[in-house]
Structure 1
Amino acid sequence: MLQSLIDFVRDHYRTNDFIPLHAPVFGGNEKAYVSDTIDSTFVSSVGAFVDRFEQDMASYTGSPRAVATVNGTAALHVALRLVGVGPGDYVITQPLTFVATCNAIAYCGAMPIFVDVDRHTLGLSPKALASWLDAHAYRDDSGTCRRRKDDRAIRACLPMHTFGHPADLDGLVSVCRDWGLALVEDAAESLGSTYHRRHTGTFGALGTLSFNGNKVITTGGGGMILADQAMGERAKHLTTTAKLPHPYEYVHDELGYNYRMPNLNAALGCAQLEQLEAYLAEKRQLASEYAACLAGGELEFVTEPEGCRSNYWLNAVICPDRERRDQLLKSTNEQGVMTRPIWQLMNRLPMYASAPAGELTNALWLEARVVNLPSSICVHGKGAI
């Protein structure tokens, strides 16, 4: 089975060279738009492509407002601050995620609480969330959710749409409403993914995207905050150093951040976004071919949850056990086909080891079994490698 998988990947990308996990593709107007930016001399945080990229992304996702940032972590940081997360607070999130999710919480002076994920979505479990809150939290007279053990406020819930597969948003929205928690979606990996035909990142108070070099589309480095108009205005203000408009004076009215996306990066993003639907079609086709290749074998291909349309950012398989997982990782990487295990659980990292956590049965089970497969798109039959 392992050799047939390696042969499939090599045949798909039509190369005997090293095959990375996810490489960017630049086959559209990227060079032209970046050249336009250079010619204009507006290469930094002010320029036409920043405005265009924000407008185009708002239109694509259906969000009332989109605010570009220097990276996805910056977007998450500001989103959490906008919903009131501050020093001493808690934010509930999943342990099975990239470290940026938790780092953004820590940047606010808050601490994560780790709650289990669902196996079928790989994302935060509404059932586990409700169970943990029933056992460990209460709402005070003002409606604020608090942890019983220390009375510290639990301000928000931060699920992540793992590998582009939407979490159970109906369930999460319902639990957050019952407990007075602000829902902030980490949609860094799910551009182009929908939950019941609505784009991820638009269900909570705020959502965030990432355009790192390994994402579905890239700006080199970059992120985006999805918000309503009022929150969007606040996000724009905070991410542009909280500077008030003035012809020449430097007036800053609160603590802000230099989280602006440069015009050069936005130019790249505009060109990439023009090709997104074609990228998504190819990625979904690759996912279908992986599923067919692996059917009947011991590796379970991770498919989109019911009622969802996943971008299949990183294709993934679930191995029978850790031993088989390690065999897969060793065999593929030794033969120049890059695969990776899923992330180590965040509560195992030293900076989050003391954070509260519920029963993490599913997260532990998945941590021992999930492997990502090469997921770059192909251009004109040639692998994007």
Structure 2
Amino acid sequence: MNALYPPSSFIDKVIAAIRTVIGSAPAVLHEPAFAGNEWLYLKECLDSTFVSSVGKFVDRFEADLAAFTGARHAIAVVNGTAALHIALMLAGVKRGDEVLIPALTFVATANAVSYCGATPHFVDSEERTFGVDAQKLRDYLDRCTEQRAGFCINRSTGRVIRALVPMHTFGHPAAIDGIMAVARDFNIALLEDAAESLGSYYHGRHTGTFGLMGTISFNGNKTITTGGGGAILTDDAELARHARHLTTTAKLPHAWEYRHDEIGYNYRMPNINAALGCAQLEQLPAILAAKQVLYERYQTAFASVSGVRLMKAPEHCQSNYWLQTLLLDTKYVDQRDILLQSTNGAGIMTRPAWVLMHELMPFRECPRMDLAGAELLVPRLINIPSSSGLI
């Protein structure tokens, strides 16, 4: 125990439960697993000299990713934030619009909205999934918006609410049926932030494939990694074509000339990153299986620890269990920071949920609904070591 704090039987029990699963060695929160063809594919990429945005591994990675998720098209880009930025643009989000996003999300979701010159409009989350609370959002939009010429208008600001971006928190699928219904009924484009949920399914369908587009991240701490990287998923062939064009500096195809027909972005995934991704995708089923086993072992370990529960996949869903998450009972909220200090001091990397978006300096003046659900959740959430290699 950390000497700064008095002994606590609750904290002792939580640490003991974690140690039961991970052993006595120090453990980070999440690290990648390189146990397949990574070195082989990287060497092949280096030997070819095609290490940037042209090369066979980019095409292969996109095809393999589309096949795995069931999306008709996958467009590989440099990171998940870039993927969401382009998806928002292609959905018609522009300067002066508003975009509904959960207050309980990583800052990249809000940043991508801001890149478009639009304003994040923060919505609440539910305890069952940690995702957008669809019923509460519907009630809010009924009260606070109106329809004009087929657009959803925020009565308070007069701005168009152009898109809704639910996020599948820590890999757990949000209640997407209800969220889709809200988007449809209020004439709002639905884009999924599936950055954390590769390998997660809602009623048998992969996350990121329900909306107009979905976006994924392959950062070093995700379920699989390309180092840095992301992707846009869509079933729309024209959106896919335009996404590839925009993310390749909007260059018109030509053997030697450099002509660009609109403002583009240097966002395409480099071939060397895609080579790593191809090897990682080959291992994804085994990684997901290991993370399921890790969840089951944690579930057993915490079954006898009162005051805390381990987050499980919502009903009719399959979660990738990207980050295993503890939810403290409300009576132990005052123990969260002590628990974070004690676990990290003991060599067990843990972390709290993100600071809610409306509490961050750049977004304090953004519109928001009542966020009581998210505000009650955040002080109770702790992520614990979740690497597939712990199995």
Q: Do Structure 1 and Structure 2 share a fold, with TM-score over 0.5? A: yes
Is 1:29 paired with 2:37?
Answer: yes
Helix, strand or coil at the partner of 2:76? strand
Do residues 222 (structure 1) and 233 (structure 2) align? no
Residues 258-273 of structure 1 mapped to structure 2, 5 A cutoff? 258-273=266-281
Does residue 276 (structure 1) correspond to residue 287 (structure 2)? The answer is no
1:319 to 325, 328, 333: 328
* Deviation readout 1:158-185 (Å, 9 max, x if unpaired): 0100000000100011110001100000
Equivalent in the alignment of 1:71: 79
Q: What does 1:77-226 correspond to in 2, within 5 Å?
A: 77-140=85-148, 142-226=149-233
In 2, distance between residues paired with 1:44 and 1:4? 50
What's the offset of the Cα at 1:4? 4.0
For residue 274 of structure 1, give the secondary structure of its aligned residue in structure 2.
Answer: helix
Deviation at 1:12, TM superposition (A): 3.4
Give how far 1:5 is off.
Answer: 3.6
Unaligned runs of at least 5 residues, structure 2: 1-9
Distance of 1:324 and 1:292 partners within structure 2: 22
1:302 aligns with 2:302: no
Q: 1:3 aligns to what?
A: 12
**How far apart, in 1, do the equivalents of 2:144 and 2:321 lie?**
35
Offset from partner CA, 1:44-103 (integer Å, 9 cap, x none): 111000000000000000001000000000000000000000100000010000000000
Instruction: Measure, in 1, the Cα distance between the counterparts of 2:299 and 2:256.
Output: 59
* Structure 1: distance between partners of 2:11 and 2:310: 14
After TM superposition, give the deviation of residue 13 of structure 1 in Å: 3.5
AA in 2 matched with 1:144: F
SS of 1:80 mapped into structure 2: helix
1:8 to partner: Cα distance: 4.2
**1:259-298 CA distances to partner (integer Å, 9 max, x unpaired)?**
0100010000000000001000110111111111111421
Distance, in Å, in 2 between the alignment partners of 1:80 and 1:314 is 26
List per-residue Cα deviations over 1:223-246 (Å, max 9, x = no partner): 000012221111111101111101
1:14 & 1:303 partners in 2: Cα distance?
22
Q: Distance in 2 between matches of 1:12 and 1:119?
A: 25
Is 1:293 paired with 2:301? yes
What is the deviation of 1:324? Answer: 1.8
**In angstroms, what is the RMSD of aligned CA positions?**
1.2
SS at the partner of 2:75?
A: strand
Q: 1:368 aligns with which of 379, 385, 391?
A: 379
**Alpha-carbon separation, structure 1, partners of 2:79 and 2:157:** 34
Task: Say which of 41, 56, 67 aligns to 2:49.
Answer: 41
Q: Is the 8 A contact 1:123 1:161 kept in 2?
A: yes
Paired residues in the alignment total 378
Task: Give the TM-score, by structure 2 length.
Answer: 0.95
Cα distance in 2 between the residues matched to 1:330 and 1:291: 23
User: Runs of 5+ in structure 1 lacking a partner?
Assistant: none
2:314 match: secondary structure: coil
Q: CA separation in 2, counterparts of 1:10 and 1:303?
A: 20
Partners of 2:116 and 2:308 lie apart in 1 by 40
- 1:12 maps to a residue whose letter is V
Deviation, structure 1 residue 15: 4.4
TM-score (norm 1): 0.96
For residues 292 and 12 of structure 1, do their structure 2 counterparts lie closer, same or farther at Cα, with a shift above 3 Å needed? closer
What SS class does the counterpart of residue 92 from structure 1 fall into?
strand
Q: Which amino acid aligns with 2:319?
A: S
Q: Secondary structure at the match of 2:100?
A: strand
